[in-house]
Amino acid sequence: MAQTTALGKVYLLGAGPGDPGLMTLKGKALLECADVVIYDALVSPAILAMINPEAEQINAGKRRGRHSKAQDETTALLIEKAQEHAIVVRLKGGDPFVFGRGGEEMGDLRRAGVPVEVIPGITAGIAAPAYAGIPVTHRGYSCSVTFVTGHEAAGKYCPQVDWGAIAQGSETIVIYMGLHNLPHITTALQTGGLSPDTPIALIRWGTRPEQAELIGTLATIVAQVEAAQFEAPAVAVVGRVVELQEVLGVGSGK
Ligand SMILES: C[S@@+](CC[C@H](N)C(=O)[O-])C[C@H]1O[C@@H](n2cnc3c(N)ncnc32)[C@H](O)[C@@H]1O
């Protein structure tokens, strides 16, 4: 990639999972003085409301099957905007470096000679379960947690996830982007040694006012999703920590 003369700097900013109160102080201050903000589809309206009203706002949102801007196009846009403006914010849901392609964008910008800084955000895989009353680790229940993509395919985050190794190696499993593949994932985890009775929770739009939860087991959850017409975006939590929802779930986080 050709080197460029950048006037400004790009900030890869984590928006958190949706509740505006979970935006970092550093992130909020940047949004308030940004010249340009290029944001993803999952960033909540309450966070977008923090953006400097004078700033140029561009939706680079990507949802399953709806790529409003391809990755290369987004990177080219960031480079272009950094040549024209001082503060360019690339606003991503959750944390930019957790299934957010933040590392790829940062690498491209560095190679192009554009100054870039990452500002972490709270990832959905911790915050959504927390608001549902599910700690991802808990003494006596789970001392390990794995964050994994359920969106496995050639060209995606991971060509093939080793669900058997994950079933054996981690007491809590938090799955991002897994709703579409849930029949495959729940079968693979059971083939990998987990009991059909293993609890699983799905949390949709976690930390937002419209948060919804579905609790079941590896054996039942696929039918429950169909019956409830439960839709993405959601994280799935697998493991005994889900049992804590009964005690910790009432009004937690909200
Ligand atoms: C491309 S990944 C981005 C993850 C993000 N970088 C993060 O750290 O949370 C998108 C997936 O994150 C999960 N996700 C993001 N926001 C969510 C929310 N508020 N509630 C539940 N799941 C969410 C869903 O699994 C969704 O399909």
Q: Which residue has the tokens 């503060």?
A: 87
Ligand 1 pocket, residue 31 CB under 6 Å: no
What's the pLDDT at 177? Answer: 96
Is the per-residue pLDDT at 63 higher than 60?
no
What's the pLDDT at 160? Answer: 86
**Residue 4 Cα to ligand 1 middle (Å):** 33
Ligand 1 pocket, residue 147 CB under 6 Å: no
Residue 226 tokens, joined: 């169909």
pLDDT digit string (tens) for 189-226? Answer: 999 999 999 999 999 999 999 999 999 999 999 999 99
Domain 9-119 CATH class label: alpha beta
- 162 among known catalytic residues: no
- 197 among known catalytic residues: no
- 40 among known catalytic residues: yes
Ligand 1 pocket, residue 58 CB under 6 Å: no
3-state DSSP assignment of residue 199 = strand
HSE, side-chain direction, 13 A CA sphere, residue 93: 27
Ligand 1 pocket, residue 124 CB under 6 Å: yes
- Residue extents of the structural domains in the chain: 9-119, 124-248
For the whole model, what pTM was predicted? Answer: 0.93
CATH superfamily, domain 124-248, is Tetrapyrrole methylase, C-terminal domain (3.30.950.10)
What's the pLDDT at 64? Answer: 47
Cβ of 110: how many Cβ atoms within 10 Å? 12
Contact between 217 and 225 (Cβ < 8 Å): no
**Residue 15 Cα to ligand 1 middle (Å):** 11
Sign of the torsion formed by the C-alpha atoms of 148, 97, 202 and 38: negative
Instruction: Choose the catalytic residue: 35, 40, 95, 108.
Output: 40
Probe ligand 1: pick from 43, 179, 230, 235, max atoms within 8 Å of CB?
Answer: 235
